[in-house]
Amino acid sequence: MDLETILSVVTTYALPVLAALIIVYVGLKLSEKIASLIEANLNKAPTSDPSVSRFLASLCRYFLMAVTAIAALTIIGIDTSSMAGMILGLSAAAAFVLQYPLGNLAAGIMLNLFRPFKVGDEIEVNGVKGVVLGITLSSTRLKTRDNVEIILGNGNIWGGIIRNHNALGQRRLDMDFGVSYDADLDLAIETILSVAKSDPRIHAEPAPWAKVVKLNDSSVDIQLRAWCDYDDLRSLKVSISQPMKTAFDSAGIGIPYPHIVKIRKDLGNPTPTTS
């Protein structure tokens, strides 16, 4: 074999193969490096899920490896158009099958970026209310007040209306108290405000407010609006009624209650009369 033939073979086969091997080597190293960086950055989030981070990093690595393989085969001279089409088809099918899980992952990223709530907050979304136990990229765990665990896909949370009950720290308590129509309304309002101001859980600013809000069939409703810390709202709501009743009794203010009236009718047959 003469030198010209050897140079022709090397030029035709050896150099493309060598270039393909270099591309494969560099591509594998880059895919591992990029996947490791993605996993490490995802794990830096306070509420990250290591298994989800590893899964996303693996997807990226396999994608880069597929691109590397196609590039290497193209350098050698192998037609990869059909392979690229197959990969695109498989990718489209996978995206369709995984659209709900991927939607949850995308929503989880948005929740971690914008942080509309955090662990320990009490939230309400899509009619579900509970204290946040944990947030991952795919789902959020809640605990209801009666100790039931609820797991919501992040896609359902991010796409709905989120009510964060304790994000602002303070909450307003609204409670109605019914008094009788013959009660002194000014005295009743003064009594309600006195009880509210004597409770250390109720804030002095904004000051408690009480006004007549409704005239019912048998009572005049006076509403109390008082501000308190979120942590005190539930206990205040269930405990303020008793001192309010005691104060009403001391001031001689009547509280109406329903009465049941029974009417008896004589259904006997009347005695017929004749003219």
| Delimiting residues of CATH 1.10.287.1260 domain(s) in the chain | 11-97
Residue 162 pLDDT grade (very low, low, confident, very high; cuts 50, 70, 90): very high
- The more confidently predicted of residues 269 and 247 is 247
Instruction: Name the residue type at position 256.
Output: P
Given a contact cutoff of 8 angstroms between Cβ atoms, the answer to whether 125 and 162 are in contact is yes
Q: Which of 163, 208, 212, 150 is nearest to 187 (CA)?
A: 212
| 116-164 is classed CATH 2.30.30.60 | yes
- The more confidently predicted of residues 73 and 179 is 179
Work out the angle at residue 121's Cα, subtended by the Cα atoms of residues 117 and 122, and round it to the nearest 5 degrees: 110
What whole-number percentage of the chain has pLDDT above 70? 76
Residue 27 pLDDT grade (very low, low, confident, very high; cuts 50, 70, 90): confident
Any idea which fold 11-97 has? Helix Hairpins (1.10.287)
Residue 98 pLDDT grade (very low, low, confident, very high; cuts 50, 70, 90): very low
CATH of segment(s) 170-251:
3.30.70.100
- The more confidently predicted of residues 222 and 114 is 222
| Delimiting residues of CATH 2.30.30.60 domain(s) in the chain | 116-164
Rg of the chain over CA atoms, in angstroms?
37
Taking the C-alpha atoms of residue 97 and residue 111, their distance in angstroms, rounded to an integer, is 23
CB atoms inside a 10 Å sphere around CB 150? 13
Residue 262 has pLDDT above 70, yes or no: no
Mean pLDDT for the stretch of residues 259-265: 64
Mean pLDDT for the stretch of residues 229-252: 94
pLDDT at residue 134, rounded to an integer: 87
Which range is least confidently modeled, 44-53, 164-173, 185-194, 261-270? 261-270
Residue 97 has pLDDT above 50, yes or no: no
What b-and-e string marks burial along 182-191, b requiring 16 or more CB atoms within 10 Å of the CB?
Answer: ebeeeebbeb
- The more confidently predicted of residues 140 and 263 is 140
pLDDT at residue 215, rounded to an integer: 93
Residue 270 has pLDDT above 60, yes or no: no
pLDDT at residue 275, rounded to an integer: 46
pLDDT at residue 182, rounded to an integer: 92
DSSP-derived 3-state class of residue 171: strand
Q: With 0.85 as the threshold, say if the pTM is over it.
A: no
pLDDT at residue 100, rounded to an integer: 55
| Delimiting residues of CATH 3.30.70.100 domain(s) in the chain | 170-251
Mean pLDDT for the stretch of residues 150-175: 90
DSSP-derived 3-state class of residue 136: coil
Mean pLDDT for all residues in the chain: 82
Instruction: Write out pLDDT tens, residues 116-143.
Output: 998 899 999 988 999 999 888 788 999 9
